[in-house]
Amino acid sequence: MHMKLAIVLSTQPAKFNAVAFKGDLEANVAKIARWGYDGVELAIRDPNIVDAEAIAAIMDRYNLAIPAIGTGQAWGEEGLSFPDPDPAIRRAAIERVKSHIPLAARFNAVIIIGLLRGIVKPGVSQEQAMAWVVEALQECSEAAAPHGVRLALEPINRYETTLINTVREGLSLIEQVGADNFGLLLDTFHMNIEEPDMEESIRLAGDRIFHFHVADSNRWYPGAGHIDFRSLLQTLFETGYEGFISGEFMPEPDADTAAQRAISYLRNLQTDLTKT
Ligand code: LER
Ligand code: MN
């Protein structure tokens, strides 16, 4: 088995500092390919200001896939979110997600709904916020379906949002949204905080796992903390998961070192997994 490994890369300046790379796309892509990664996960604030053909040419040149597109910068830098009390902002958040569909279809990438699902703002009840999130996800999933595009919501730890912290909450949301092309992105950093038993949660999510982020317990590269990646990845592959494992960790001690240590650790682990 070849474990497909990707790493998160931003196409424009981002405040989110766990985005391991910023700046010049081609130089970064060249390095990522040289280190042995199979893909890059692009964090894109606004698809209308990126040049899809230029990106495609670079990916072709280095033979890298784009397994997923992150949308969180639209929240971080523009404040767009599904449960905002201002209807114009809610609409803009939905339209922004929909505007990712052509790009996602072009690259066969999953659209990630991370922090774009928002937080519960003052004056809004948790119930109202969830209702807006469900409606937004229904509209976006429906728009994406004819293009063969899938959306993956990421359960995110309690310190960043109160909306969907756990895999179980994610699965109940999936029932409410009721779309086959809507699933989950599991992130080991968030799972380590929120899941009572990470292996059990992975098994529970099963074929609704559309994408997978890895960072260690301290959000450094895998191998730098105390998460048992051997057990987690074994469990993940036992569910039949055939997607990418995408590194999303702090650029510590620096971005290049982190990326190289992550891939060397995960490739070693892969040898072990193949043996079992
Ligand atoms: C994004 O994938 C993520 O994991 C969030 O923690 C961003 O804040
Ligand atoms: Mn993540």
Q: Supply 2's token pair.
A: 């070849």
Q: What angle do CA 29, 39, 140 make, to 5 degrees?
A: 115
The answer, yes or no, to whether any atom of ligand 1 lies below 6 A from the CB of 38, is no
Residue nearest to atom 8 of ligand 1 (CA): 115
pLDDT attached to residue 18: 45
d(C-alpha 217, C-alpha 202), whole Å:
17
Q: Could you give the residue numbers annotated as active site?
A: 154, 248
State phi, psi for 242 to the nearest 5 degrees: -120, 10
The answer, yes or no, to whether any atom of ligand 1 lies below 6 A from the CB of 228, is no
d(C-alpha 202, C-alpha 49), whole Å:
36
105 three-state secondary structure: helix
Which domain CATH number covers 245? 3.20.20.150
For the chain, report the end-to-end CA distance as a whole number of angstroms.
12
Q: Which ligand is nearest to the CA of 43?
A: 1
How many structural domains is the chain composed of? 1
The whole-model pTM stands at 0.95
Q: Which ligand is nearest to the CA of 116?
A: 1
- In which domain, by residue range, is 14 found? 5-275
212 three-state secondary structure: strand
d(C-alpha 221, C-alpha 246), whole Å:
11
What tens-digit pLDDT sequence spans the chain (276 residues)? 789 999 998 655 544 444 444 447 889 999 999 999 999 999 999 998 888 888 999 999 999 999 999 999 999 999 999 999 999 999 999 999 999 999 999 999 999 999 999 999 999 999 999 999 999 999 999 999 999 999 999 999 999 999 999 999 999 999 999 999 999 999 999 999 999 999 999 999 999 999 999 999 999 999 999 999 999 999 999 999 999 999 999 999 999 999 999 999 999 998 888 766
The answer, yes or no, to whether any atom of ligand 1 lies below 6 A from the CB of 115, is yes
Query: Angle formed by the axes of helices 126-144 and 87-99, to 10°?
Result: 30
